[in-house]
Amino acid sequence: AAAAAAVVATPEPSLSDELLGHVDKIAALATGMGPLFSDARQRSAQCRVSLSHALDARYTDELRVAPSLLFGRDYNVEVELHCLMTAVKTAIRIASRDPNRELNDTSEAADHLCVVLENILIHGLQEKRGFLDFSGERLSYWPLVRTLLPAKDVAQIEGLFSTPQGRGRAWVRLALMNHTLGDDWSSLINSDALKSFYGKDALVMHREWSEILLGFLQAVDALKFSFCLRDSQLDSPVIRVIDYGRLLKLALSYQVVVHIDE
């Protein structure tokens, strides 16, 4: 009877405890996920400190972290794809919370979206191969994308930026402003040259995931964006990894709920 009473008396975990537990699971999951997720564990740990401040009486039991991020198993490609898809859907939901607002370079929502899209585009890129080339350097997606764009867009982008990273980032921002990202993505995933740039485990090579993402990006094309395409920082060779901790905190602050399997 005493044991039964002890069980009954045990309080249920609070919403704050549950969300912080989810952050810990994301951090543990990120441990073996390779360079693309190299700082996710650190970011998630930092998020534990500030996450409780984002939780207050406004949040109800309906608020949940996407279960797709919380697989209790070792790293594999399917988990990585789920993480990328959840990140992009979360970023889109945050950007879409006010469809009449123009998103620009100062918008944290637009910044997160661009970073997530870049990480998707570099996911699974093959290494360069050539005679006596042992650098391990990966291919860029820009040479593929440029073959799919109007000549005037290619000329504009290549006239402003000198690196493939800068040109790729400029294309993403130009497509967001021109409401053509969905069409460009469709051309990309249907390109005959796709296999020459990406490995078989790349997100763009997974037909189901890439088609789902196409639907997401077509929704993004309804939003308003305004970017400065003369930002020299876009030419930086450094690839920014997805800050899952900050993305989660931002989603909570806007009461954004994402389930990848919706």
Say whether pLDDT at 175 is over 90: yes
Is residue 230 scored above 50 in pLDDT?
Answer: yes
What is residue 2's predicted lDDT score, i.e. its pLDDT?
47
pLDDT value of position 34: 45
pLDDT in tens, 153-174: 999 999 999 999 999 999 999 9
Residues 104-114 have pLDDT tens digits of 999 999 999 99
- What mean pLDDT is predicted for residues 14-41? 48
Give the confidence band of 82 by pLDDT, cuts at 50, 70, 90: confident
DSSP E strand boundaries for the chain: 102-104, 224-226
pLDDT of residue 50: 42
- Rounded to 5 degrees, what angle do the CA atoms 235, 238, 242 make? 115
Q: Contact at 8 Å (CB) between 117 and 225?
A: no
CA distance 250 to 112: 10
Please check the confidence at residue 210 and state whether its pLDDT lies above 80: yes
More confident residue, 164 or 22: 164
Please give the pLDDT value at position 156: 95
Question: Where residue 20 falls among pLDDT bands split at 50, 70, 90?
Answer: low
DSSP 182-220: HHHHHHHHT-TTHHHHB-TTSGGG-HHHHHHHHHHHHHH
Is 80 exceeded by the pLDDT of residue 136?
no
Average pLDDT over residues 248-252: 78
Residue 249 has a pLDDT of 79
- Identify whether the C-beta of residue 98 lies closer than 8 Å to the C-beta of residue 116: no
